[in-house]
Structure 1
Amino acid sequence: MPTMESESSTVSRAEELKSSANEAFKAHKYSQAIDLYSQAIELNEQNAVYWANRAFAHTKLEEYGSAIHDATKAIEIDPKYSKGYYRRGAAYLAMGKFKEALKDFQQVKRICPNDPDAAKKLKECEKAVMKLKFEEAISVPVAERRSIADSIDYRSIVARMTTSSMLVTAAVAVVLAAALMAAKFMSIGAVLAIMALAASIMVIVFPLARTIVLQTRELLRTLPSLVDITVPNGKQFTVCGDVHGQFYDLLNIFELNGLPSDDNPYLFNGDFVDRGSFSLEVILTLFAFKCMCPSAMYLARGNHESRSMNKIYGFEGEVRSKLSETFVELFAEVFCCLPLAHVINQKVFVVHGGLFSVDGVKLSDIRAIDRFCEPPEEGLMCEVLWSDPQSNLGRGPSKRGVGLSFGPDVTKRFLQDNNLDLVVRSHEVKDEGYEIEHDGKLITVFSAPNYCDQMGNKGALIRFEAPEMKPNIVTFPAVSHPDVKPMAYANNFLRMFS
């Protein structure tokens, strides 16, 4: 039986761990903070503060499912602990679960009736729920919706465009500059300078931007949900992870690794937009390259290529601010056309999120997914976009609250069942820009360095050269960008927590 002295020592040690975790959190070392809070919880699991603090750290890593679990535990320990409801409400908001968040912020207001911050967040949450109810009331059933894209003839727009109108958008600068470089009239440095200048001006010619989006949609619609890529012997192929609206880091990738071309093709593996405040420049650039040379640019859907994410994390607001409401609908339609996965040289499986809740999934099953819709909350399409690897064997609940976690045995069986060598996925920020897991059979690649201007991580890309197709990982730091903060166009209530 423990003595009072030993209990006091245990409590003291737990507090020391909490203090160390707090310091790690302040230094933006959120994974380290989670480990330290976990150690404190092991010593004193009845301390609600430890659970709530760990919930906050999970939120910073976008692990909203884990954050909700920890915040709920804090509430169970102390039903009057306002921060438990506060942390859970913030996680619900980040997941777009406004009604659940509203209940938690109402409880915060009851516990702290004179807290102006709680009152402000409650008011914003009430606005979001009212807006959601209004949108639900006026929404048209999916079966009855008319495609905006189908009502526009982009070919007639192209015919009407003049040369002068093509010089004032980042996307056009890409097409023009890349064409000039192909003719050996410009250096890559000059090409990138033109792209950056055009983005800084950001005067969008509506007809041209619309043409690029519509032409990309037409190209993507012809593709299967799983695209097979063939890299000839002696040639290389580059896979990039999340870019998240960090346009100037995208330019840096092209400076380091060359512009996309038939001899230098790229696959960008989802999450092109949201969070970063230059998402429109990113997506128009990638789409322009796709239109200019389809075999030089492959694009996969990420979990942020969806209406629900774009509504919360900034892309919808950015498009509405820089272009128009029509473009919000256009991008939503094009995102539903993006393929879900790629296989390179019948060896490397590339997907944004991860693997599946059941064994025996074949490539033909992925190819057969009807992807032309908003992502569902379960099933193969959901898991492709949302799942994450875990170190433990088997499967577990998702730390995000969507999809699942899958272990090295799951990866091994999937590769064996489909005669593949490697899984490449993205979806998670990594300190070095990448991480190799599951006995070397799975690589995470993340291409947004210093994510959200605060994580301090490197970015990475992976080069494969045929026929060996061995991964050659290149890392790079963040570059400077104009003074526009991440989440500048995000939903107002979410910016309160950023």
Structure 2
Amino acid sequence: MTGLTLADHEVSEASKQIAEDHKNRANEAFKAKHYQEAVDAYTAAIDANPRNAVYLSNRAFANLRLENLGSALADASAAIELDPTYAKAYYRRGDAAFALAHFKDALAEAEKQLKRARFEEALSQPDNDVPVSDTIVLDDVAIDSSYCGPALPTDENGAYFINLEFIESMLEAFKRGQTLHRRYVLWIVLEAQRLLKALPSLVHVDVPAGSHITVCGDTHGQFFDLLRIFQLGGAPSEANPYLFNGDFVDRGSWSMEVMLTLLAHKCLCPGAMHLTRGNHEAKSMNLIYGFYGEVREKCGPTAVEVFRETFCWLPLGYVLRDTVLVLHGGLFSDDGVRLDELAAIQRYREPPEAGHMCEMLWSDPKDTPGREPNKRGVGIAFGPDVTRAFLQDNGLSLLVRSHEVKDEGYEVAHDGYCITIFSAPNYCDQMGNKGAFIRFKGEDMVPAFTQFEAAPHPDVKPMKYAASMMNGMFGM
């Protein structure tokens, strides 16, 4: 353990012992995967003894597990200021900077401390001016005679279409570890892209009396947990529609299977499957957290670009029965934002670093009033007064968002006006959380929660396709 530095004599022995007690409690909470409890206990240790770099570095690590990347970066930097020889603090700072997509800083940190530069070539590639999707000729994608997986049906003119039998056979193939042929993958993604292009950036969905809609949070490539959702909530259909609220991909190692399942249902019945863009439906995140590497390995580089372009057409939010707003992240740095402004956002782009689109993907609620910089380092943290004012300004009754792991799979905050829903149980095979989804009935639009545990899955580790630096960050 590194020694104390900077005026140790200013901290009494009694305070040092209190700090150690808090640190020990924090370490136990961390081992039990109660990361927010660990952050709170490390904070108590720092309050008792602000001169110990270990406490700051440990809190940085707990914040990394919670994806509070801005806080992790600040803690690691403070630890280094206290003790410039403390190696672990440099690791934490490099991990946080890299995860925040501060690529140049992260690579410099890696070269200096970790001797890694895995993404330099990938990040230097320019974007194409002409969408790759527009250049695809499916007939040029030959199907080898050895392919024995599911095949899309064709009509009397030889054109592909999708039916429930194909989706069922596709899911069975995915369970056995098989992948679809590249031609079928491209057809599904391009057909879904065509449907998404016709939607506004903010979509209104009616939920009449006698009907319902199910809202799910992050799924993050956890395909077998997606199947558990359909097992509990029923298969998607016109009478049983779903809204998946972003972060379909990355981290979990079946992200392509999750995405193809959702897009295939969108193609089969557009009204049965609604999809919101999350902060992980972005090139920068996919390069780091696995989706880029997964699709490249399973389907080739062309498919990577077609998925990326399709992500850019995903709507940014949904309004359910003119009362419930569903978006991935949260609210805004300025007052008076109106729904028509959100509907007018030009969304076909990679997410910007600021502004309404960024905040819809990245912001988080906080318990105290007002606004402050987000602990992630992107977007803002907004209080209950901000939520109430936004809902009142727009004639809404509830905000539903995702974007954060919750131990119970959901959390009701801001006096009942803000709900977080998260649908990836035992996130990354290590968080121990439940998953959950919400069902709204058209009669009253009152949220009803269903919780579920993680489903068994084959022995394929999360982050299998991610950057090696991120694998190290999560101990995989």
| TM-score, normalised with respect to structure 1 | 0.87
Q: Does 1:366 align with 2:338?
A: no
Q: Distance in 1 between matches of 2:151 and 2:46?
A: 53
Residue matched to 1:117:
none
Counterpart of 1:469 in structure 2: which amino acid? M
Q: Secondary structure at the match of 1:462?
A: strand
Cα deviation, residue 171, structure 1: 12
Q: Secondary structure at the match of 2:215?
A: strand
| Deviations, residues 219-239 of structure 1 (Å, cap 9, x unaligned) | 000100000000121111000
Counterpart of 1:404 in structure 2: which amino acid? I
User: Residues 341-420 of structure 1: matches in 2 within 5 Å?
Assistant: 341-420=317-396
| Deviations, residues 224-257 of structure 1 (Å, cap 9, x unaligned) | 0000000121111000000000000000100101
Residue matched to 1:31:
36
User: Residues 60-99 of structure 1: matches in 2 within 5 Å?
Assistant: 60-99=65-104
Q: Does 1:283 align with 2:259?
A: yes
CA contact (8 A) 1:85 1:105 kept: no
CA contact (8 A) 2:149 2:180 kept: no
Residue matched to 1:484:
460
Cα deviation, residue 275, structure 1: 0.2
CA contact (8 A) 1:445 1:460 kept: yes
Residue matched to 1:15:
20
Residue matched to 2:126:
139
| Deviations, residues 386-418 of structure 1 (Å, cap 9, x unaligned) | 000000100011111110100000000000000
Q: Does 1:468 align with 2:455?
A: no
RMSD over aligned CA atoms reads 2.5
Q: 1:176 to 1:224 in 2, by over 3 A?
A: closer
Q: 1:169 to 1:356 in 2, by over 3 A?
A: farther
Q: 1:170 to 1:479 in 2, by over 3 A?
A: farther
CA contact (8 A) 1:354 1:389 kept: yes
| Deviations, residues 26-63 of structure 1 (Å, cap 9, x unaligned) | 12111111010000111111111111110010001111
Q: Distance in 1 between matches of 2:140 and 2:111?
A: 51
Cα deviation, residue 103, structure 1: 3.7
Q: Distance in 2 between matches of 1:365 and 1:244?
A: 29
Q: Which of 204, 210, 214 is equivalent to 2:190?
A: 214
Cα deviation, residue 107, structure 1: 5.0
Cα deviation, residue 8, structure 1: 1.3
Number of residue pairs matched? 459
Q: Does 1:168 align with 2:144?
A: no
Counterpart of 1:416 in structure 2: which amino acid? Q
CA contact (8 A) 2:252 2:463 kept: yes
| Deviations, residues 369-398 of structure 1 (Å, cap 9, x unaligned) | 000000000000000000000001000111
4+ residue runs over 6 A deviation: 169-172
Q: 1:428 to 1:266 in 2, by over 3 A?
A: same
Q: Which of 133, 138, 141 is equivalent to 1:149?
A: 133
Q: Distance in 1 between matches of 2:331 and 2:229?
A: 28
Q: 1:214 to 1:7 in 2, by over 3 A?
A: same
Q: Distance in 2 between matches of 1:170 and 1:271?
A: 27
Q: Distance in 2 between matches of 1:241 and 1:5?
A: 48
Q: Distance in 1 between matches of 2:177 and 2:81?
A: 53
CA contact (8 A) 1:395 1:407 kept: yes
Q: 1:361 to 1:450 in 2, by over 3 A?
A: same
Q: Distance in 2 between matches of 1:71 and 1:169?
A: 51
Cα deviation, residue 95, structure 1: 1.8
CA contact (8 A) 1:170 1:284 kept: no
Q: 1:226 to 1:99 in 2, by over 3 A?
A: same
Residue matched to 2:312:
336
Q: Which of 104, 110, 133 is equivalent to 2:109?
A: 104
Q: 1:326 to 1:103 in 2, by over 3 A?
A: closer
Q: 1:371 to 1:207 in 2, by over 3 A?
A: same
Residue matched to 1:493:
469
Residue matched to 2:5:
none
What is the aligned-residue identity percentage?
52
Q: Secondary structure at the match of 2:101?
A: coil
User: Residues 180-199 of structure 1: matches in 2 within 5 Å?
Assistant: 195-199=171-175
Residue matched to 2:164:
178
Residue matched to 2:6:
none
Cα deviation, residue 194, structure 1: 6.9
Residue matched to 1:128:
119
Q: Which of 45, 56, 63 is equivalent to 1:51?
A: 56
Cα deviation, residue 357, structure 1: 0.3
CA contact (8 A) 1:166 1:208 kept: no
Residue matched to 2:228:
252
CA contact (8 A) 2:330 2:363 kept: yes
Q: Does 1:298 align with 2:303?
A: no
Cα deviation, residue 72, structure 1: 1.3
Counterpart of 2:272 in structure 1: which amino acid? A
Q: Distance in 1 between matches of 2:174 and 2:95?
A: 37
Residue matched to 1:115:
none
Q: 1:44 to 1:462 in 2, by over 3 A?
A: same
CA contact (8 A) 1:169 1:202 kept: no
Question: Which has the larger displacement, 255-264 or 194-203?
Answer: 194-203
Q: Distance in 1 between matches of 2:181 and 2:324?
A: 39
Structure having the higher helix fraction is 1
CA contact (8 A) 2:163 2:268 kept: no
| TM-score, normalised with respect to structure 2 | 0.91
* Stretches of structure 2 lacking an aligned partner (at least 5 in a row): 1-8, 155-160
Q: Distance in 2 between matches of 1:250 and 1:361?
A: 34
Counterpart of 1:85 in structure 2: which amino acid? Y
Cα deviation, residue 207, structure 1: 1.4
Q: Which of 421, 434, 444 is equivalent to 2:420?
A: 444
